[in-house]
Amino acid sequence: MYCVVLVTVPTPKIARQIAKKVVIKKLAACVNIIPDIRSFYIWNKKLCNDKEILLVIKTRMAIFNQLSDEIKLNHPYKIPEIIALPIVHGTKEYIQWLKTNCNKVIPT
């Protein structure tokens, strides 16, 4: 099974750093960087309104934990947003491409 993982980051530099690392390590087949999003949330009992960048990461559900660990190592937030949404449907060709390019071996 495959999934899309959403991650918000504070700067373009961090976005590129995480994207490159997870693709090179084959923890993700592809990462889209979407700049200039606005996030509203409560942190320390205070309403925050921050400019952020969204990473849209395509990967396998089986390696989500490894991907999450790698993101946490390179992320400045105490509690980064790292959420996975299942890919319910996709073209046969795209799913095959995901399989080929996201082939991190899971230790047994």
Q: Which residue has the tokens 């959403």?
A: 6
- CATH 3.30.70.120 for the 2-101 domain, yes or no: yes
Q: In whole angstroms, give the CA distance from residue 81 to residue 103.
A: 24
Please give the pLDDT value at position 102.
87
Whether 106 shows a pLDDT value over 80: the answer reads no
Give CA separation, 65 vs 6, 8, 60, in Å: 14, 17, 10
Whether 108 shows a pLDDT value over 50: the answer reads no
For range 26-37, the mean pLDDT: 97
Whether 103 shows a pLDDT value over 90: the answer reads no
The dihedral sign for the CA sequence 69, 54, 74, 97: positive
* Domain ranges, ordered by start, for the chain: 2-101
Residues 53-64 have pLDDT tens digits of 999 999 999 999
pTM of the entire predicted model = 0.91
Percentage of residues in the chain having pLDDT higher than 90: 92
Q: In whole angstroms, give the CA distance from residue 18 to residue 106.
A: 20
SS3 (DSSP) at 72: helix
Please give the pLDDT value at position 68.
97
